[in-house]
Amino acid sequence: MGLKAPIQIYDFTAGWLSGLEARADLRVYYKGGREVTNTVGLTTGGQKRRGGTRQLAEIPEAANGAVLARFEFSTEQTYLHVFLNETIRVFKDGEFMVDVTAPWVGADLSGLRWTQSLDTMMIAHTAYPTQKLVRQGGHTAWGLSDIAWTNPPTYRFADPTTVTGTPAAKTGSGVTFTAGADAFAAGDVDKWIIGNDGKALITAYTSATQVTISIRQDFKDTTAIAAGEWSIEEDVWTAARGYPGVITLFEERTFIGASQSLLQTTWGSRSGEPFDFKSTYEALDDEAVGANLRGNRVNAIHQLFALDALFLFTTGGVWVQIDRPITPANYLPKKHCAVPAADLQAVELEERVAFISADEEGNPVCLQELQIDEMSTDTRYVPNDLSVLCPDAVADPVDLTARKSRVGGASASHVFVVNGDGSMGVLHSRRRENILGWTRWESRGNSGTDKVMRAAVVGNDIHLLVRRTIAGATRWFLEVVDDDAFWDCSKRLSSETPQSLWGGFAHLEGETVAVWADGARRDDVIVTDGAITVSDGGTAVPVRAVEAGLPFSWAIETMPVEAQLADGTLIGEAHRIVKATIRVKDAYEMTVNGRPVAFRKFRGMTLDTPLQPFSGIKQIRFLGWRPRDEIGATVRLTGQLPITIESATLVVAQ
């Protein structure tokens, strides 16, 4: 008789562990899975099959590019904005509200960055004037316009002046300004002369030595200003110089930056004045601020993020503005780490900032968070790789969003990383219980090629933009994850009068769909003329409630068993699983290493009543030998219907 050893695989709270088959020394090894697909981690332990998705709308324009964004006017009034080619499509509670004409073309949408407070969203892109989207009192009343900045900052793009300059007056309009030698060109109209505590707009060109100015900030006097102590400057945000590419709100200021000509410069508006960037030589505390992120490499800014500090994510690392309240005297962001940031938005995860880092070529590589270094005497943020135990969860990411845990109860926070292959890496986090783990979500559809393209959390709902192949045609759908849904891209309908023929499924025309009706799975059926016929065994069945959509599978596979036995280890030795004990909750079906598990018996069943999910323990014996040259023994659990896997215990033998 072979030696036996019980192995407890615990509760899968560590989620998906990729590439760690040889790391049984890790504490999380027997708390994770070699595969964890289409489930969500539970704070109480275990993994629950994720909910399906409800189809909200078809958006064919998304073929030319699309981005999802939330707009939260209040806790009760939240909206989803779908940015499309020259359009913003507004949804509320899954219902289409209105289309708003916009300037951005589809190819540029991935470069949008935005910030929002109350009824106003500000939207930045380096190739377009910064826009202001305002909710104007109703769900369908929205206005989009260029932001008219007051006192926009200026910058000297030309060489320093080499001659003197003299204003004919300290204040006023129509004032002559004379240079000691040639200094002006006709193209200098609408540029600024700055020096001697003054600021003046050039309104007319007379000659290379003389222009007319309108003084906006008085000169100290009318004496000649020495060469190099006055300058000719331009507005920093123009069509010629580019517009800001990043924007956020922090401490009643608008922070903005990363224009095409000044990629590593940021500015902050006056305190309490989000559109005014006025600054004077007095540099009062409430005046506008500005900083250039100088270092030994280019620090092109990809994202601004405000939490307990102002974070600036750049190609050269992460810079942080710690000092508060911010004033012109103390606005000097400092570099806290040299981890480059990818050109993707940052998110909040349990009161910390999480972001996608990049390699030296700028390619996105992993999910990092910033945490305070407890060993430092100063407040300093250091990076922590959240995907180190599951690097495959972040694979060429194109988008990410986050969901906060709800107050009270046992909910957790989540980060959703949309990968280039159309899958999603989902991070489940609840630190006070030491829970942190990844799962992989897929929605491949019948074609096996469907891809999640974008994601956004509005309120507590996860909205997805999905590209699907339906009856051979490429379609684009807006969907929302629904914990009560059985299938993806589904519709759920009900009627007081039982019926077998149900319309409302035109979005899946010609596709074979899975059907759940009146508490039981029914025959798969092809959608014809937008309708399905509910049947069992080929016989039509009248029902009161039906859901039809695209089926998806869940899967959980344990890590390879590497037990220490009396005569050594299982590693490199032939062994077999004698018994697997699986604890499940609310389960309808499951296979274990391809073997179906029965949850019901005919004895005692009442026919024509909904199926009741099973909760309890199931034992499966004799799951077969593993040769010594194969991976260690594992148990792979799969299915399509809802289930919660709470734990698994294996007994193995040599």
Checking if the pLDDT of 548 tops 70, the result is yes
pLDDT band (50, 70, 90) for residue 432: confident
How would you classify the pairing of strands 32-37 and 15-16?
parallel
Contact 125, 260 (CB under 8 A): no
For 276-422, list the strands marked E by DSSP.
Answer: 289-292, 301-306, 310-314, 317-321, 334-337, 347-349, 352-358, 364-372, 381-385, 397-403, 413-419
3-class DSSP state for residue 507?
helix
Q: What one-letter code names the amino acid at 338?
A: A
What integer best gives the mean pLDDT of the chain?
A: 91
Structure tokens given for 357: 């880092």
Q: CA of 103: how far to CAs of 92, 145, 197, in Å? A: 23, 10, 39
Task: Point out which residues pair with 354 in neighbouring strands.
Answer: 347, 369
Q: Answer yes or no: CATH 2.40.50 is held by domain 154-235.
A: no
Q: What is the mean pLDDT of residues 325-337?
A: 95
Determine the Cα–Cα distance for residues 444 and 254; give it in Å rounded to an integer.
41
Instruction: State residue 426's pLDDT score.
Output: 97
Q: Where are the domains of the chain?
A: 4-51+556-653, 65-146+240-394, 154-235, 488-551
- Find tokens 């307990």 and name the residue: 308
Determine the Cα–Cα distance for residues 77 and 85; give it in Å rounded to an integer.
25
| Residue pLDDT, tens place only, 175-201 | 999 999 999 999 999 999 999 999 999
**Burial environment of residue 132 by CB neighbours within 10 A (0 to 12, 13 to 18, 19 or more):** middle
Checking if the pLDDT of 566 tops 70, the result is no
Q: CA of 445: how far to CAs of 53, 422, 439, 472, 550, in Å? A: 12, 12, 19, 12, 6
Element (H, E) at 142: strand 141-146
Task: Point out which residues pair with 617 in neighbouring strands.
Answer: 583
Contact 383, 368 (CB under 8 A): yes
Task: Point out which residues pair with 363 in neighbouring strands.
Answer: none
3-class DSSP state for residue 539?
strand
The CATH class that applies to domain 65-146+240-394 reads: mainly beta
Q: CA of 325: how far to CAs of 307, 328, 395, in Å? A: 13, 10, 39
Q: What is the mean pLDDT of residues 31-42?
A: 94
Checking if the pLDDT of 588 tops 50, the result is yes
Hey, what's the torsion of the CAs at 503, 508, 509, 514, to 10 degrees?
-80
Alpha-carbon Rg of the chain, whole angstroms? Answer: 31
- Look at residues 107, 147, 108, 155 and name the one whose alpha carbon lies nearest to residue 129: 147
pLDDT band (50, 70, 90) for residue 654: low
**Residue 479 CB contacts under 8 Å (≥ 6 apart), including other chains:** 53, 54, 55, 56, 463, 464, 465, 466, 488, 489
Q: CA of 311: how far to CAs of 225, 330, 627, in Å? A: 39, 15, 53
Contact 14, 389 (CB under 8 A): yes
Checking if the pLDDT of 159 tops 80, the result is yes
| Residue pLDDT, tens place only, 206-217 | 999 999 999 999
Q: CA of 633: how far to CAs of 317, 556, 582, in Å? A: 43, 14, 16
Checking if the pLDDT of 373 tops 50, the result is yes
Checking if the pLDDT of 605 tops 50, the result is no
DSSP state of 346: -
DSSP state of 159: P
Instruction: State residue 409's pLDDT score.
Output: 53
**Equal fold, 65-146+240-394 vs 154-235:** no
User: Phi and psi dihedrals of 358, rounded to 5?
Assistant: -130, 160
Q: What is the mean pLDDT of residues 216-239?
A: 95
Instruction: State residue 603's pLDDT score.
Output: 41
Checking if the pLDDT of 222 tops 60, the result is yes
Structure tokens given for 6: 């019980």
Q: CA of 379: how far to CAs of 293, 308, 370, 579, in Å? A: 19, 12, 12, 53
Residue 454's Cβ-side half-sphere holds a number of Cα atoms within 13 Å equal to: 23
Checking if the pLDDT of 85 tops 80, the result is yes
- Look at residues 427, 426, 432 and name the one whose alpha carbon lies nearest to residue 410: 432
